[in-house]
A and B are shown apart, each in its own frame.
Chain A
């Protein structure tokens, strides 16, 4: 076995410096090589999420390049991805969050047709309880289908609190997920926020 380098001060500094330099160089190289695929993977994911919630659209008009932000309040804005079919706007995918979830913030994508109806919804990321709150995902149960085609502008606001999308417990129209009222309320809250944002587009 070759003899070990002595632990002199110079040796230690030089070795650590060399090791770190080589490591940094390799990392910079890998970073450059994977930069494009990572950006592409993220873009694909976004495209897919938009495609899930709005009617079929022409890809000539890129919803991602035409994304704009809608401010709901100071420091609180949602991203909106408009889509076109021919010359007309055919849909709006709005990325909405809510902090009212059972285990913190979750994000959903809500698609609107120009008449204000919800086309479809899709969950982007969440930390809700597996088996209960996560039933809001399409893959877990068909609960979220009651939002498909939901005619928001024509919902009667029974309790007159100005909130349209609510669970039945709160005098609304949505059936809550059994044993997961908080998650259901939060989902409604996110949809409501998306709808408020949607109404601001038209103005």
Chain B
């Protein structure tokens, strides 16, 4: 039950992109086509989950133990940056096919603030998560990111065909669409 609550809350109610404003750059950057959006989602789910597990353990067994919590930001971002590199190298060796699919998205993830944001949120004392809960939280957040991204990409594909006022074309209408999508997601608040 507890896990279901975390999952629903992270995917719908507190959606990383539409409610918490994390990961907006890739949200606008790679949402022109559904296909690329799906690829990015795969990469984010992978990195976010592994990053959260690693940073959670680091926080618990290194930063908290030595009372150097102020090193959190610098440690976490380094973990994420090196993890992305590592994933890239391993993927290239183990599964060239998957690397082909996700490869170009991996470097972009380092500066995806959703990854760092979720890692920091998962170790917040007021959440009080244990390792398992953090992992579930990370996976669900990543799925929430993917859901928003894929939905948005679908909308944008259709928008190319629509007759939009000249001044609103391109970026502005994308923002307004995102706003409406966020409005729709607000309907979920209060259920968890």
Contact = CB atoms under 8 A, between A and B. Distances in A.
Interface of A: 23-24, 27, 31, 102-105, 129, 182
A182 B71 CA distance: 39
Interface of B: 9, 13-14, 70-71, 74, 126, 189-190
A24 B190 CA distance: 43
B189 A23 contact: no
Contacts, number: 17
A27 B189 contact: no
17 contacts: A23-B74, A24-B71, A27-B70, A27-B71, A27-B74, A31-B70, A102-B189, A102-B190, A103-B13, A103-B14, A103-B189, A103-B190, A104-B9, A104-B14, A105-B126, A129-B189, A182-B190
A104 B14 CA distance: 10
A23 B78 CA distance: 13
Contacts of B189: 102-103, 129
B14 to A, nearest CB: 8
Given A23-B74, A24-B71, A103-B190, 6 more contacts: A27-B71, A31-B70, A102-B189, A103-B14, A104-B14, A129-B189
Contacts of A24: 71
A103 B9 CA distance: 9
Contacts of A102: 189-190
Contacts of A31: 70
A136 to B, nearest CB: 16
A103 B20 CA distance: 12
A182 B74 CA distance: 39
